[in-house]
C-alpha cells in the first residue's frame, strides 16, 4: 500500500500504517521522545490527508503491532465483528468522521457499531477530529454499567471517592471517606490506592470500606487498587472484594511489564464474577490506563501513544468493565507536556473509549512538573462534563497526599453538576436523600448534630 | 455589626486532625472558599518553584568543603530545564566535558576504586538537595567515618541513572544518588536515595534500592541514614542491589558486627 501525498512542491511518503498514524497525531512530547512524531506541521497535515483517504478496512489488513508478536493485536483482530462493521465498511477514515458527526450516527447506531470498530480505526478518526468533534460524538454514546448502582445513564455523572493516605492509616482514610460522602461523592466506587501491597494491609482496607458500606447500606462498590494477583489472593482468603482493579496498556509487552496477560485477567474476572456480590449487575472489572505507559516500559513498537492507548481499550472491552479510567496527566511532561496536551489527550481517550463501548471516566489531573494548573483542569472537567463522561475522581481539596499529584476535588464535582445539571447514580442519589446529606434535587443540605455520619466521625 | 455568613462551614473540622488531606474545607455555594484557593495556590507555587529553581552548586560545594568533603560538579546532557523535562534520556547521560572531568580530576582527588561514591543530584527539586543533602551526609558519618575521603559529585539536570555513568567513571563499587523527588503539593522538598551496586550505564531501576521521602517532616535524617547504612552493608555482602536486597532495617539489631569496612555502630 502506498502512503504518500503531495503538498505544494513536496512529496510526503510514509513507510507504513503506524507511521501514518503517528505522524498524523496532534503534537505531544511523548511521541517526540519516542521519535515517531511528525517532523513539521506540514508533515503532520500530509499524514492526516493520507489517513483521511484510507479505507477503514485497511486497519483489518495491516496491524500496527504485528499479529504474531502481540496478544492484544490478536484479541482485537480475532474479536472483530464483521456484521457490526458493515454499516461503515465502505468508508474512508475521512468519510467515517463525517458519518460520526451526521445525524445517522445516534446512540443506538453507535452502540450497534462498537463491536465492529477496532481501536486503530477509532484512534485514526480521532486524529482528524477537532476537540469539539470529539465532544459531540462522545456525547451521543451511552454506556451503562451496573454493580450495586447504575452508572452512565443520560445526564448523570458519577465520582470515584479516592480517600488515599500515605501510610494507609485507617483513621486517615476514614476521615477522607466521610468528608467525601458528606459532599455527595462515591457513587462510581470508593477506591483506595494502597501505599503497600502487603496482603494483610489490603484486606484491612477492604474490610474497612465494606463494614462501613454494610452498616450504612451505601449503594456503591469498593475497591483497593492493588495488583490483580493480590486481589486474587484476597479473594482466596475470603476478603470482601467487589471489583478487580488492574492497570493495563495497549501491547502485550507493556502488559507484561505490569505483570499481567489476558489469561490472568480472564482468571481474575471469573473469580470476581463467581463471588456474585453485585446487587443490580455484574460488571466487576475496573481498569486504569494512560497515554505513554507503553513508551515508559519500552514496549511501544514504534507506534504513537494515543493509538496504543486506544488498543488498551480493545483489551478492556473483553471484560465488560464497570469502570475504565484514563489517568491522563499523571505520567508527567515527557509524555504530555502541558495543559493543552493533557486536555487534548483527555478528550481523545474519552472519545475512543466511548466509541469502543466502554464506560469511560477520567482522572483529570496533573503533576507539579507539568506545565499545567487548576485552570487547565477546570477546562478539561467542563469539556468532559459536556461530552458526557461517566465518572471523574474525587480527592479532598484536589490534593492526593499519597500519590503526590492534583486531581479533581469534591467541590469540582459539585461545580460540574451545577453548571451542567448532571445528577448522581439514581440509587446513590436516593441514599443521600435518605441520609439527609442532599435534598431531592441533589443539592447538599446544611449538616448538624443529627447527621449519622457525623456521629461516626466523632468516634474516629 | 457582624457581616452575614457567606460560607457554609463543615461541622466535621475534627477530621482535620486525622489526616493531612484537605478535608472539611467548607464551601462558598458549591465552590472552594477564597482562603483555600489561596492556600492551595501557594502550595502549588512552591512546588512549581522547586521544580524550576536551579541548584546553587557553588554554595553547596563551599558548605561541603567546610565540613571536610571534597566534591566535583558535573552536568547531564540536558542543557536546560525545558530539555530536562522533555527528554529524560538526556538527563541520564553525562555531558562530554563532565565525563572528561571525572576521568582527570577524579583520579587525582580519590582512589581509583572507591567503595562508595555519593551523587548529590538536583532531580525534580533542587530545594530538597540543597536543604537535605549535607545534613544527610553528616547523619551517615557515625556509620561511615571514612566518608569525607570518598567522592562526592554534585550533578545538575540529573536523573537517577546519571549515577550509573558517574559511578562507572570513578570505578566505584557502590553509588548512592541523593536526588530531589517530584514535588508534591504539601512536600516540595522530598529527597530520594537510590543505591546501586557495580554502577555502569544500562542498568534498570529493578537493580536499585530506594529510600523515599527524606525530609524532617517525612523520614528524618537519622532514620534515613540508618536505613541507608543497613542497605549499603547488605549490598556489600550480596555484591548486588535491587529486588534481592530487602530493607529489613526496622527489624534489624544495631549494626555492631558489620561486615562492611569502615561501618561502625552509631
Q: How does pLDDT run along chain A (460 residues), one tens digit per residue?
A: 789 999 988 999 999 999 999 999 999 999 999 999 999 999 999 999 999 999 999 999 999 999 999 999 999 999 999 999 999 999 999 999 999 999 999 999 999 999 999 999 999 999 999 999 999 999 999 999 999 999 999 999 999 999 999 889 999 999 999 999 999 999 999 999 998 878 898 999 999 999 999 999 999 999 999 999 999 999 999 999 999 999 999 999 999 989 999 999 999 999 999 999 999 999 999 999 999 999 988 899 999 999 999 999 999 999 999 999 999 999 999 999 999 999 999 999 999 999 999 999 999 999 999 999 999 999 999 999 999 999 999 999 999 998 999 999 999 999 999 999 999 999 999 999 999 999 999 999 999 888 999 988 888 8
Contacts of B107 (CB under 8 A, 6+ apart): none
Could you tell me if A179 lies within 8 Å of chain B, comparing CB atoms?
yes
Query: What SS3 class is residue A28?
Result: coil
**Which among A347, A426, A425 has a CA at the least distance from the CA of A389?**
A347
pLDDT exceeds cutoff 60 at B262: no
Asked whether the CA dihedral B233, B237, B243, B248 is positive or negative, the reply is negative
Contact criterion met (CB < 8 Å) for B31 and A176:
no
Q: What is the DSSP letter of A159?
A: E
Q: E strands within chain B?
A: 71-75, 116-121, 152-156, 174-180, 191-197, 208-214
Contacts of A400 (CB under 8 A, 6+ apart): A162, A164, A406, A407
Tell me what the pLDDT averaged over chain B comes to.
90
Residues in A closer than 8 angstroms to B186, CB to CB, are: 399, 401
Contact criterion met (CB < 8 Å) for B182 and A369:
yes
pLDDT exceeds cutoff 90 at B257: no
**Mean per-residue pLDDT, B114-135:** 97
Interface confidence (ipTM) of the complex: 0.95
Confidence (pLDDT) at A273 = 98
**Which among A346, A319, A164 has a CA at the least distance from the CA of A245?**
A319
Confidence (pLDDT) at B266 = 28
Contact criterion met (CB < 8 Å) for A369 and B86:
no
- The secondary structure element, H or E, covering residue A51 is helix A41-53
Residues in A closer than 8 angstroms to B50, CB to CB, are: 368
Contact criterion met (CB < 8 Å) for A165 and B86:
no
Which residue of chain B comes nearest to A400, CA vs CA? B21
Contact criterion met (CB < 8 Å) for A32 and B86:
yes
Query: What SS3 class is residue A58?
Result: helix
The C-alpha atoms of residue A53 and residue A14 are separated, in whole angstroms, by 14
pLDDT exceeds cutoff 50 at B263: no
The C-alpha atoms of residue B75 and residue B99 are separated, in whole angstroms, by 9
Of A32, A166, A460, the CB nearest to B18: A460
Q: Work out the percent of chain A whose per-residue pLDDT is above 70.
A: 100
Q: What is the DSSP letter of A156?
A: B
| Residue in this structure with the C-alpha cell 512529496, named with its chain if needed | A11
Global pTM value: 0.92
Confidence (pLDDT) at B104 = 92
Residues in B closer than 8 angstroms to A447, CB to CB, are: 10-12
Residues in A closer than 8 angstroms to B47, CB to CB, are: 368
- At what angle are helices A71-78 and A262-275 packed, to 10 degrees? 60
Neighbours of B103 (CB within 10 A): 11
Structure confidence by residue, pLDDT tens digits, A117-167: 999 999 999 999 999 999 999 999 999 999 999 999 999 999 999 999 988
In angstroms, the separation between the Cα of residue B15 and the nearest Cα of chain A is 5
Of B11, B40, B85, the CB nearest to A397: B40
Torsion of CA B138, B139, B140, B146, to 10 degrees: 40
Of B23, B47, B87, the CB nearest to A368: B47
Which residue of chain B comes nearest to A30, CA vs CA? B86
Of B23, B43, B186, the CB nearest to A176: B23
Could you tell me if A457 lies within 8 Å of chain B, comparing CB atoms?
yes
Contact criterion met (CB < 8 Å) for B15 and A337:
no
> What b/e sequence results for B122-131 when a residue is b if at least 16 CB atoms lie within 10 Å of its CB, and e otherwise?
bbbbbbbbbb
In angstroms, the separation between the Cα of residue A395 and the nearest Cα of chain B is 9
| Residue in this structure with the C-alpha cell 478487580, named with its chain if needed | A244
In angstroms, the separation between the Cα of residue B255 and the nearest Cα of chain A is 27
Of B15, B20, B182, the CB nearest to A401: B20
Chain B interface, best mutation among A163, A258, A341, A368, by max B CB count within 10 A: A368
Contact (Cβ atoms closer than 8 angstroms) between residue A424 and residue A157: yes
Q: How many residues does chain A have?
A: 460
Neighbours of B160 (CB within 10 A): 21
- The secondary structure element, H or E, covering residue A246 is strand A244-247
Could you tell me if B131 lies within 8 Å of chain A, comparing CB atoms?
no
Confidence (pLDDT) at B166 = 97
Of A172, A415, A444, the CB nearest to B18: A172
Confidence (pLDDT) at B250 = 56
- The secondary structure element, H or E, covering residue A5 is strand A3-7
In angstroms, the separation between the Cα of residue A274 and the nearest Cα of chain B is 35
Contact (Cβ atoms closer than 8 angstroms) between residue A164 and residue A193: yes
The C-alpha atoms of residue B155 and residue B140 are separated, in whole angstroms, by 20
Asked whether the CA dihedral B164, B169, B173, B175 is positive or negative, the reply is negative
Confidence (pLDDT) at B205 = 78
Residues in A closer than 8 angstroms to B89, CB to CB, are: 33
CB proximity under 8 Å: A 396-455 to B: 396-399, 401, 404-406, 409, 411, 414-415, 417-418, 444, 446-448, 454
| Cell reading at B110 | 580519590
Contact (Cβ atoms closer than 8 angstroms) between residue A89 and residue A32: no
Q: A269 — phi, psi (to 5°)?
A: -60, -45
**Which among B185, B42, B36, B187 has a CA at the least distance from the CA of A411?**
B36
Could you tell me if B87 lies within 8 Å of chain A, comparing CB atoms?
yes
The C-alpha atoms of residue B66 and residue B167 are separated, in whole angstroms, by 24
CB proximity under 8 Å: B 203-262 to A: none
Structure confidence by residue, pLDDT tens digits, B228-253: 999 999 999 999 998 778 766 654 43
Structure confidence by residue, pLDDT tens digits, B70-124: 999 999 999 999 999 999 999 999 999 999 999 999 989 999 899 999 999 999 9
Torsion of CA A108, A189, A443, A175, to 10 degrees: -170
In angstroms, the separation between the Cα of residue B189 and the nearest Cα of chain A is 12
How deeply is B260 buried, as exposed, middle or buried, from its count of CB atoms within 10 A (0-12, 13-18, 19+)?
buried
Contact criterion met (CB < 8 Å) for B31 and A411:
yes
Contact criterion met (CB < 8 Å) for B21 and A458:
no
Residues in B closer than 8 angstroms to A182, CB to CB, are: 10, 12
Of B22, B89, B184, the CB nearest to A404: B184
Residues in B closer than 8 angstroms to A198, CB to CB, are: none
| Residue in this structure with the C-alpha cell 465488560, named with its chain if needed | A320
Amino acid at each position: 500500500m502506498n502512503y504518500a501525498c503531495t503538498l505544494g512542491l513536496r512529496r510526503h511518503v510514509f513507510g507504513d500504517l503506524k507511521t501514518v498514524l503517528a505522524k498524523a497525531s496532534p503534537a505531544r512530547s511523548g511521541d517526540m521522545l519516542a521519535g515517531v512524531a511528525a517532523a513539521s506541521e506540514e508533515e503532520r497535515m500530509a499524514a492526516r490527508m493520507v489517513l483521511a483517504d484510507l479505507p477503514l478496512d485497511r486497519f483489518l489488513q495491516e496491524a500496527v503491532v504485528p499479529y504474531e508478536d502481540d496478544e492484544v493485536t490478536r484479541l482485537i483482530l480475532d474479536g472483530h465483528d464483521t456484521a457490526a462493521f458493515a454499516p461503515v465498511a465502505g468508508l474512508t477514515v475521512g468519510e467515517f468522521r463525517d458519518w460520526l458527526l451526521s445525524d445517522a450516527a445516534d446512540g443506538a447506531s453507535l452502540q450497534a457499531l462498537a463491536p465492529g470498530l477496532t481501536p486503530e480505526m477509532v484512534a485514526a478518526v480521532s486524529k482528524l477530529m477537532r476537540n469539539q468533534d470529539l465532544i459531540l460524538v462522545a456525547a451521543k454514546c451511552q454506556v451503562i454499567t451496573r454493580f450495586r448502582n447504575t452508572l452512565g445513564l443520560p445526564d448523570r455523572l458519577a465520582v470515584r471517592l479516592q480517600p488515599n493516605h500515605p501510610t494507609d492509616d485507617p483513621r486517615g482514610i476514614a476521615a477522607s471517606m466521610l468528608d467525601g460522602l458528606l459532599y455527595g461523592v462515591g457513587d462510581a466506587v470508593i477506591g483506595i490506592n494502597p501505599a503497600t501491597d502487603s496482603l494483610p494491609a489490603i484486606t484491612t482496607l477492604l474490610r474497612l470500606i465494606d463494614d462501613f458500606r454494610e452498616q450504612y447500606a451505601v449503594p456503591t462498590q469498593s475497591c483497593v487498587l492493588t495488583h490483580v494477583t493480590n486481589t486474587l489472593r484476597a479473594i482466596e482468603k475470603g476478603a470482601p472484594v467487589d471489583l478487580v482493579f488492574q492497570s493495563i496498556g495497549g501491547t502485550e509487552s507493556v502488559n507484561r511489564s505490569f505483570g499481567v496477560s489476558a489469561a490472568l485477567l480472564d482468571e481474575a474476572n471469573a473469580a470476581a464474577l463467581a463471588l456474585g456480590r453485585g446487587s443490580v449487575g455484574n460488571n466487576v472489572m475496573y481498569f486504569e490506563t494512560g497515554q505513554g505507559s507503553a513508551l515508559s516500559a519500552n514496549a511501544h513498537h514504534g507506534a504513537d501513544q494515543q493509538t496504543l492507548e486506544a488498543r488498551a481499550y480493545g483489551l478492556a472491552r473483553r471484560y465488560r468493565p464497570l469502570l475504565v479510567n484514563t489517568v491522563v496527566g499523571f505520567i508527567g511532561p515527557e509524555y504530555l507536556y502541558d495543559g493543552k496536551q493533557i486536555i487534548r489527550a483527555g478528550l481523545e481517550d474519552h472519545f475512543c473509549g466511548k466509541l469502543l463501548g466502554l464506560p469511560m471516566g477520567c482522572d483529570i489531573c496533573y503533576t507539579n512538573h507539568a506545565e499545567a494548573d487548576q485552570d487547565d483542569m477546570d477546562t478539561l472537567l467542563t469539556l468532559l462534563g459536556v461530552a458526557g463522561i461517566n465518572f471523574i475522581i474525587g480527592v479532598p481539596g484536589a490534593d492526593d497526599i499519597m500519590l503526590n499529584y492534583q486531581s479533581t476535588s469534591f467541590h469540582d464535582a459539585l461545580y460540574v453538576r451545577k453548571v451542567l445539571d448532571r445528577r448522581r447514580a439514581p440509587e446513590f442519589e436516593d441514599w443521600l436523600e435518605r441520609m439527609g446529606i442532599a435534598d431531592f434535587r441533589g443539592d447538599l443540605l446544611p449538616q448538624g448534630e443529627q447527621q449519622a455520619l457525623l456521629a461516626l466521625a466523632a468516634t474516629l | 455589626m457582624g457581616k452575614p455568613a457567606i460560607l457554609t462551614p463543615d461541622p466535621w473540622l475534627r477530621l482535620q486532625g486525622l489526616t493531612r488531606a484537605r478535608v472539611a474545607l467548607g464551601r462558598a455555594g458549591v465552590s472552594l472558599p477564597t482562603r483555600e484557593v489561596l492556600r492551595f495556590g501557594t502550595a502549588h507555587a512552591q512546588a512549581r518553584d522547586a521544580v524550576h529553581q536551579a541548584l546553587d552548586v557553588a554554595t553547596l560545594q563551599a558548605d561541603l568543603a567546610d565540613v571536610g568533603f571534597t566534591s566535583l560538579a558535573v552536568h547531564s546532557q540536558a542543557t536546560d530545564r525545558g530539555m530536562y523535562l522533555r527528554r529524560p534520556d538526556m538527563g541520564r547521560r553525562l555531558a562530554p566535558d563532565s565525563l572528561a572531568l571525572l576521568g582527570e580530576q577524579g583520579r587525582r582527588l580519590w582512589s581509583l576504586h572507591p567503595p562508595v561514591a555519593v551523587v548529590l543530584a538536583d532531580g525534580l527539586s533542587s530545594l530538597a538537595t540543597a536543604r537535605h543533602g549535607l545534613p544527610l551526609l553528616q547523619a551517615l558519618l557515625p556509620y561511615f567515618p571514612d566518608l569525607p575521603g570518598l567522592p562526592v559529585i554534585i550533578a545538575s539536570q540529573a536523573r537517577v541513572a546519571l549515577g550509573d555513568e558517574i559511578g562507572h567513571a570513578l570505578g566505584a563499587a557502590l553509588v548512592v544518588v541523593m536526588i530531589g523527588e517530584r514535588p508534591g503539593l504539601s512536600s516540595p522538598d522530598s529527597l530520594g536515595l537510590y543505591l546501586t551496586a557495580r554502577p555502569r550505564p544500562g542498568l534498570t531501576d529493578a537493580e536499585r534500592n530506594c529510600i523515599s521521602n527524606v525530609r524532617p517532616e517525612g523520614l528524618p535524617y537519622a532514620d534515613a541514614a540508618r536505613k541507608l547504612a543497613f542497605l549499603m552493608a547488605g549490598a556489600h555482602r550480596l555484591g548486588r542491589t535491587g529486588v534481592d536486597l530487602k530493607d529489613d532495617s526496622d527489624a534489624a539489631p544495631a549494626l555492631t558486627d558489620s561486615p562492611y569496612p569502615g561501618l561502625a555502630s552509631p
